[in-house]
A = this chain, B = another copy of it.
């Protein structure tokens, strides 16, 4: 029954299914109280936000209030790699310069984006989250792998009796 349900929802149906609904309507993601940082704050501030908020990445906002980048836990480790921990007072912007040419910018979506679009983009870009922005590139939310998986599991449970869900 679980398989049947998922099959129906992911394949060849004509009417819209949940993956064609927007992440906002499905409430997949976090849309309030987003932890973010200004591009000019020192790295040590970002570290503190990581620890206090227990999130894996922070959208970076410029002086115009636009989302311009993202700072992930892994970026901090690159400081470690270069043994530049004596530079924890450099700005986040500066710390990210090492990424150089290959960096393609922060991947975003809108709250009107469908779950399918978001999932495809996460996989295509091999990233753990998209930053949700409005038409002015202002921060609206974050949608991460964790949110998508939680939705899939909870959604499945709601439609199935518990023992069917795990059998």
**Which residues of A approach B to under 8 Å, CB–CB?**
2-3, 6-7, 9-11, 44-45, 47-48, 50-51, 54, 56, 73-74, 76-78, 80-81, 83, 85-89, 119-120, 122-124, 126, 128, 145-146, 148-150, 152-154, 156, 165-166
Q: Is A150 in contact with B51, judged by CB distance below 8 angstroms?
A: yes
B149 with A76: CB separation less than 8 A? yes
Question: How far, in whole Å, are A95 and B47 apart by their CA atoms in the complex?
Answer: 35
Instruction: Tell me the complex Cα distance, A163–B58, Å.
Output: 22
Number of copies: 2
- Taking the nearest CB of chain B, how far is it from the CB of A165, in angstroms? 7
> Once the chains are docked, how many angstroms separate the CA of A50 from the CA of B154?
12
The CA of A126 and the CA of B72, in the complex, are separated in Å by 13
A36 vs B112: C-alpha distance when bound (angstroms): 36
Give bound CA distance, A165 to B54, whole Å.
Answer: 19
Cα–Cα distance between A113 and B73 once the two chains are bound (Å): 21
CB-nearest residue of chain B to A8: B86
Give the shortest distance, in Å, between A134 (CB) and chain B (any CB): 25
Specify the main secondary structure of chain A where it touches its partner: helix
Q: Which B-chain residue is minimally distant from A72 (CB atoms)? A: B145
Q: How far is the CB of A44 from chain B (nearest CB, A)?
A: 6
A56: B residues at CB distance < 8 A: 56, 146
Q: Are A7 and B86 in contact (CB under 8 A)?
A: yes
Q: Can you list the 9 inter-chain pairs with the closest CB atoms, starting with the nearest?
A: A81-B123, A7-B86, A73-B145, A6-B85, A51-B153, A10-B85, A47-B153, A80-B119, A51-B150
Q: How far does the Cβ of A53 sit from chain B's closest Cβ, in whole Å?
A: 11
- Point out the residues of chain B lying under 8 angstroms from A11, CB to CB: 83, 86
